[in-house]
Amino acid sequence: MNHLTMTLAAVAGLATAANATLFSFASDVDHTSFTFAGMGGLVADAMDPSEPLTLLIDDTNGPGAPIALSVEFNAGFEIAHLGSIPSGGGNFVHAYSLDGFFEFRDGSGALVLSAVVEGGSLTALGSATSWYSSGALFGADGAGSSVTYTWHGANIPDYGLFTGNSIDPDDAAFTLTFLQSDPGMGVALGQDMLPAMHWVSEGSYSGSAFFIPAPGSLALLGFAAIGAARRRR
């Protein structure tokens, strides 16, 4: 195989091979606000826009130090009760479908990273008629479920970031801790098994996404590869 063929093959491989980009933030990075709030079938962020959190971007546990961005977190989800499974000792695992979005904006209000979750889940441990003080909401690419990220910033190839939408497989998960309503810890459920009162919780986040260069970027890489191969002759 000659140099030109080998180089073009490597460029073509960029369209099908990619490294995951990892995103995360820690619970209670904003000490003045809860992370999530909700009531009935709605779940949203509860964070104060004037108190941003720190979003970490990692190169798949590679050698590079995480990129730390000061951002505003926004989220909005709808949930619907699917079922409640006894887990022993009078406890139940309550399961809900989850659809919605979350996003991160910089200090000027411009989008940095956004995501759409379809066919995700919320689960919470509780009694037959309540949630206790912890749970989780999450999604992943699979049959009937999807998470699609959009990176709105410039390309950062060393961290697998390219402007545009992600490709499979992607995922996202948020904890719900210190879950409480007024009064007291935990959340009472109504007859529809949805929260019967306003609740808040702390939360942390972790997710992964795969991005590839846009076709225009691949074309530029291809031209560069041709030029490099010709110079070697």
Helix (H, G, I), strand (E, B) or coil at 232: helix
Helix (H, G, I), strand (E, B) or coil at 166: coil
Give yes or no for a contact between 117 and 75, defined as CB atoms under 8 angstroms apart.
no
d(CA 17, CA 1): 21
Helix (H, G, I), strand (E, B) or coil at 222: helix
Q: Which two tokens stand for residue 212?
A: 């590839």
Give yes or no for a contact between 153 and 105, defined as CB atoms under 8 angstroms apart.
no
Cα-atom radius of gyration of the chain, to the nearest Å? 21
Helix (H, G, I), strand (E, B) or coil at 4: helix
Give yes or no for a contact between 197 and 182, defined as CB atoms under 8 angstroms apart.
yes
Q: What confidence score (pLDDT) does residue 220 get?
A: 46
- 231 burial (CB, 10 Å; 0-12 / 13-18 / 19+) is exposed
pLDDT string in tens for the chain (233-residue length): 554 443 333 433 444 446 899 999 998 777 778 999 999 999 999 988 777 899 999 998 778 899 999 999 999 999 999 999 999 999 999 999 999 999 999 999 999 999 999 999 999 999 999 999 999 999 999 989 999 999 999 999 999 999 999 998 999 999 999 999 977 899 999 999 999 999 999 999 999 999 998 765 554 445 444 454 445 55
- The CA-atom distances, in angstroms, between 112 and each of 54, 58, 89, 155 are 13, 15, 45, 12
The phi and psi torsions of 226 (rounded to 5 degrees) equal: -60, -45
**Tokens 């459920």 belong to which residue?**
189
- The CA-atom distances, in angstroms, between 44 and each of 88, 113, 115 are 31, 17, 14
Q: What confidence score (pLDDT) does residue 40 get?
A: 97
Q: What confidence score (pLDDT) does residue 52 get?
A: 87
Which sequence spans correspond to the domains of the chain?
18-232
- 24 burial (CB, 10 Å; 0-12 / 13-18 / 19+) is middle
Which pTM was predicted? 0.83
Q: Which two tokens stand for residue 164?
A: 């545009």
**Tokens 């410039």 belong to which residue?**
154
- Which pairs with CB-CB distance under 8 Å and at least 24 residues apart come from 27-32? 27/175, 27/177, 27/202, 27/203, 27/204, 28/202, 29/53, 29/54
Q: What confidence score (pLDDT) does residue 50 get?
A: 77
